[in-house]
Amino acid sequence: MKQQHQPEFLEGVKQNVSIIIALAQSLSIPFHAWLTCPGTMGARYFGFQMIIGMSALLFYAIMIVPHSPGVFLFFVMTCCWLAVHRLKLSWKRNVWGYRPHSRYVGKSVFSYLVGNRRARTVCEPIAAFIAAYYAYADGSSLSGFFLLSAVCLYVSSQYISREEQAKLQALEDARADQYWIMENMQR
Protein backbone atom coordinates (compact mmCIF):
# COMPACT_ATOMS: atom_id res chain seq x y z
CA MET A 1 0.00 0.00 0.00
CA LYS A 2 1.42 3.37 -1.05
CA GLN A 3 1.51 6.14 1.43
CA GLN A 4 0.19 9.42 0.11
CA HIS A 5 2.53 12.37 0.37
CA GLN A 6 1.41 15.93 0.65
CA PRO A 7 2.36 18.24 -2.19
CA GLU A 8 5.50 20.28 -1.56
CA PHE A 9 3.66 23.58 -1.71
CA LEU A 10 1.35 22.44 1.11
CA GLU A 11 4.33 21.64 3.32
CA GLY A 12 5.70 25.11 2.55
CA VAL A 13 2.36 26.68 3.49
CA LYS A 14 2.32 24.80 6.80
CA GLN A 15 5.85 25.97 7.54
CA ASN A 16 4.96 29.59 6.70
CA VAL A 17 1.86 29.45 8.91
CA SER A 18 3.97 28.07 11.77
CA ILE A 19 6.44 30.92 11.33
CA ILE A 20 3.62 33.50 11.32
CA ILE A 21 2.08 31.99 14.48
CA ALA A 22 5.45 31.93 16.26
CA LEU A 23 6.09 35.55 15.26
CA ALA A 24 2.60 36.59 16.40
CA GLN A 25 3.12 34.86 19.74
CA SER A 26 6.51 36.53 20.13
CA LEU A 27 5.29 40.04 19.29
CA SER A 28 2.30 39.75 21.60
CA ILE A 29 4.35 38.80 24.69
CA PRO A 30 5.21 42.37 25.85
CA PHE A 31 1.53 43.36 25.92
CA HIS A 32 0.33 39.90 26.99
CA ALA A 33 2.48 40.07 30.13
CA TRP A 34 0.35 42.97 31.38
CA LEU A 35 -2.86 40.95 30.91
CA THR A 36 -1.66 37.88 32.81
CA CYS A 37 -1.82 37.36 36.57
CA PRO A 38 1.68 37.47 38.07
CA GLY A 39 3.39 34.11 38.37
CA THR A 40 1.05 32.25 36.03
CA MET A 41 2.81 32.73 32.70
CA GLY A 42 3.88 29.41 31.26
CA ALA A 43 7.46 28.32 30.77
CA ARG A 44 7.45 29.17 27.07
CA TYR A 45 7.20 32.86 27.87
CA PHE A 46 10.65 32.94 29.40
CA GLY A 47 12.52 31.69 26.39
CA PHE A 48 13.33 32.54 22.81
CA GLN A 49 9.88 33.96 22.02
CA MET A 50 10.18 36.46 24.85
CA ILE A 51 13.61 37.52 23.59
CA ILE A 52 12.16 38.11 20.12
CA GLY A 53 9.16 40.06 21.46
CA MET A 54 11.18 42.23 23.80
CA SER A 55 13.82 42.81 21.11
CA ALA A 56 11.06 43.94 18.75
CA LEU A 57 9.77 46.36 21.40
CA LEU A 58 13.29 47.68 22.00
CA PHE A 59 13.83 48.04 18.24
CA TYR A 60 10.54 49.94 18.01
CA ALA A 61 11.59 52.20 20.89
CA ILE A 62 15.08 52.94 19.55
CA MET A 63 14.76 52.87 15.76
CA ILE A 64 11.16 53.63 14.81
CA VAL A 65 10.19 56.22 17.44
CA PRO A 66 13.54 57.31 18.90
CA HIS A 67 12.29 60.64 20.24
CA SER A 68 9.50 59.14 22.31
CA PRO A 69 10.58 58.38 25.87
CA GLY A 70 7.18 56.78 26.63
CA VAL A 71 7.94 53.79 24.43
CA PHE A 72 11.29 53.17 26.09
CA LEU A 73 9.65 53.63 29.49
CA PHE A 74 7.06 51.00 28.50
CA PHE A 75 9.93 48.69 27.53
CA VAL A 76 11.63 49.15 30.92
CA MET A 77 8.36 48.73 32.81
CA THR A 78 7.59 45.56 30.84
CA CYS A 79 11.02 44.16 31.69
CA CYS A 80 10.33 44.85 35.36
CA TRP A 81 6.86 43.29 35.10
CA LEU A 82 8.33 40.18 33.45
CA ALA A 83 10.83 40.00 36.32
CA VAL A 84 7.90 40.10 38.77
CA HIS A 85 6.27 37.26 36.82
CA ARG A 86 9.48 35.24 36.92
CA LEU A 87 10.10 35.85 40.63
CA LYS A 88 6.56 34.87 41.59
CA LEU A 89 6.76 31.77 39.37
CA SER A 90 10.05 30.80 41.04
CA TRP A 91 8.52 31.35 44.47
CA LYS A 92 5.50 29.19 43.55
CA ARG A 93 7.86 26.46 42.34
CA ASN A 94 9.93 26.50 45.53
CA VAL A 95 7.06 26.80 48.01
CA TRP A 96 4.25 24.85 46.38
CA GLY A 97 6.11 22.71 43.82
CA TYR A 98 4.09 24.44 41.09
CA ARG A 99 5.10 23.28 37.60
CA PRO A 100 3.15 24.80 34.71
CA HIS A 101 2.84 22.95 31.44
CA SER A 102 5.35 24.18 28.88
CA ARG A 103 2.54 25.49 26.66
CA TYR A 104 0.47 27.00 29.46
CA VAL A 105 -0.33 30.62 28.67
CA GLY A 106 -1.23 31.67 32.18
CA LYS A 107 -4.32 33.01 33.88
CA SER A 108 -5.82 36.14 32.38
CA VAL A 109 -6.71 39.09 34.57
CA PHE A 110 -10.12 38.96 32.88
CA SER A 111 -10.68 35.33 33.90
CA TYR A 112 -12.38 36.57 37.06
CA LEU A 113 -15.14 38.06 34.88
CA VAL A 114 -15.42 35.31 32.27
CA GLY A 115 -13.71 31.94 31.85
CA ASN A 116 -10.01 31.87 31.05
CA ARG A 117 -10.53 30.69 27.45
CA ARG A 118 -13.03 33.47 26.70
CA ALA A 119 -10.80 35.99 28.47
CA ARG A 120 -7.86 34.96 26.26
CA THR A 121 -9.73 34.86 22.96
CA VAL A 122 -12.11 37.80 23.39
CA CYS A 123 -11.30 40.14 26.27
CA GLU A 124 -7.53 40.40 25.84
CA PRO A 125 -7.54 41.30 22.11
CA ILE A 126 -10.32 43.82 22.77
CA ALA A 127 -8.30 45.32 25.64
CA ALA A 128 -5.28 45.60 23.32
CA PHE A 129 -7.37 47.34 20.64
CA ILE A 130 -8.78 49.71 23.28
CA ALA A 131 -5.26 50.46 24.53
CA ALA A 132 -4.17 51.15 20.93
CA TYR A 133 -7.12 53.47 20.44
CA TYR A 134 -6.44 55.43 23.63
CA ALA A 135 -2.72 55.62 22.88
CA TYR A 136 -3.56 56.97 19.41
CA ALA A 137 -6.08 59.46 20.81
CA ASP A 138 -3.46 60.56 23.34
CA GLY A 139 -0.88 61.02 20.59
CA SER A 140 1.39 58.38 22.10
CA SER A 141 3.92 56.60 19.94
CA LEU A 142 2.87 53.35 21.60
CA SER A 143 -0.30 53.23 19.51
CA GLY A 144 1.44 51.48 16.62
CA PHE A 145 2.98 48.86 18.84
CA PHE A 146 -0.28 48.34 20.73
CA LEU A 147 -2.15 47.89 17.45
CA LEU A 148 0.42 45.34 16.26
CA SER A 149 0.20 43.62 19.64
CA ALA A 150 -3.59 43.53 19.42
CA VAL A 151 -3.51 41.81 16.03
CA CYS A 152 -0.78 39.40 17.15
CA LEU A 153 -2.59 38.69 20.41
CA TYR A 154 -5.77 37.87 18.50
CA VAL A 155 -3.95 35.52 16.10
CA SER A 156 -2.02 33.87 18.92
CA SER A 157 -5.03 33.39 21.20
CA GLN A 158 -7.15 31.96 18.39
CA TYR A 159 -4.40 29.51 17.49
CA ILE A 160 -3.93 28.43 21.11
CA SER A 161 -7.69 28.01 21.53
CA ARG A 162 -7.92 25.86 18.39
CA GLU A 163 -4.95 23.81 19.57
CA GLU A 164 -6.63 23.16 22.92
CA GLN A 165 -9.89 22.21 21.21
CA ALA A 166 -8.00 19.78 18.95
CA LYS A 167 -6.38 18.15 22.00
CA LEU A 168 -9.73 17.76 23.73
CA GLN A 169 -11.28 16.34 20.57
CA ALA A 170 -8.40 13.84 20.23
CA LEU A 171 -8.96 12.73 23.83
CA GLU A 172 -12.69 12.33 23.20
CA ASP A 173 -11.97 10.34 20.05
CA ALA A 174 -9.53 8.09 21.89
CA ARG A 175 -12.06 7.48 24.64
CA ALA A 176 -14.76 6.62 22.09
CA ASP A 177 -12.37 4.26 20.28
CA GLN A 178 -11.46 2.58 23.57
CA TYR A 179 -15.13 2.16 24.45
CA TRP A 180 -15.86 0.65 21.04
CA ILE A 181 -12.92 -1.77 21.35
CA MET A 182 -14.00 -2.85 24.83
CA GLU A 183 -17.56 -3.51 23.67
CA ASN A 184 -16.43 -5.50 20.63
CA MET A 185 -13.83 -7.53 22.54
CA GLN A 186 -16.48 -8.87 24.91
CA ARG A 187 -18.30 -10.63 22.09
Q: What angle do CA 164, 166, 167 make, to 5 degrees?
A: 65
**Per-residue confidence (pLDDT) for residue 119, from 0 to 100:** 87
**Per-residue confidence (pLDDT) for residue 30, from 0 to 100:** 87
pTM higher than 0.85: no
Residue count of the chain, please give it. Answer: 187
Query: Rg for the chain (alpha carbons), in Å?
Result: 20
Q: Tell me how far CA of residue 52 lies from CA of 19, 26, 76, in angstroms.
A: 13, 6, 15
Q: Please, how many CA atoms are within 13 Å of residue 53, restricted to the half-sphere of its CB? A: 28
Q: What is the DSSP string of 131-153?
A: HHHHHHHHT-THHHHHHHHHHHH
The list of the chain residues with pLDDT below 50 reads 1
**Per-residue confidence (pLDDT) for residue 9, from 0 to 100:** 66
8-40 confidence digits (pLDDT tens): 766 777 778 888 888 888 888 888 888 888 877
**Per-residue confidence (pLDDT) for residue 2, from 0 to 100:** 52
- Please state whether 42 falls in left (phi above 0), alpha (psi between -120 and 50) or beta: beta
Amino acid at 70: G
Say how far apart CA 85 and CA 74 lie, in whole Å: 16
**Per-residue confidence (pLDDT) for residue 104, from 0 to 100:** 73
